[in-house]
Amino acid sequence: WLQALPCQEDEEEGKKNHGVLLKMVQAEKREIVGEGGANLPQAFSVLIDVYKSDMAEEETSKGIGQLVVKVGESALEQLAQQLKEKQQKKLLRIHREAQQAS
């Protein structure tokens, strides 16, 4: 399921799935997060891609921002090393926007 995301074919289905993904990461569901967080880079990659896009509800984007702040900077730095450069920059923007909002 995680490998099939982000869902771009069906906008409504995508919004629903990306919201579910966020909730599962927030709840640290082993099925999604993986053993020792092994799937977190892939999950965050999807969440970063859909943040404030047509593929995510406003509430989902807000939750992504809260999750990024909650994870903490040291964990984000480790995570960022496994992301594409464009995603790393967007991750920094998400973190900055979320901190300003809180």
Give the pLDDT of residue 5.
87
Distances (CA, A) of 26 to 6, 30, 63, 86: 17, 11, 9, 23
For the chain, what percentages of helix, strand and coil (3-state, to nearest 5) are there? 75, 0, 25
Give the pLDDT of residue 96.
94
Tens of pLDDT, residue by residue over 5-36, are: 888 888 899 999 999 999 999 999 999 999 99
- 8 Å CB contact between 47 and 86: no
Give the pLDDT of residue 21.
96
| Cα 54 to Cα 89: distance, rounded to the nearest angstrom | 19
Tens of pLDDT, residue by residue over 28-72, are: 999 999 999 899 999 999 999 999 999 999 999 999 999 999 998
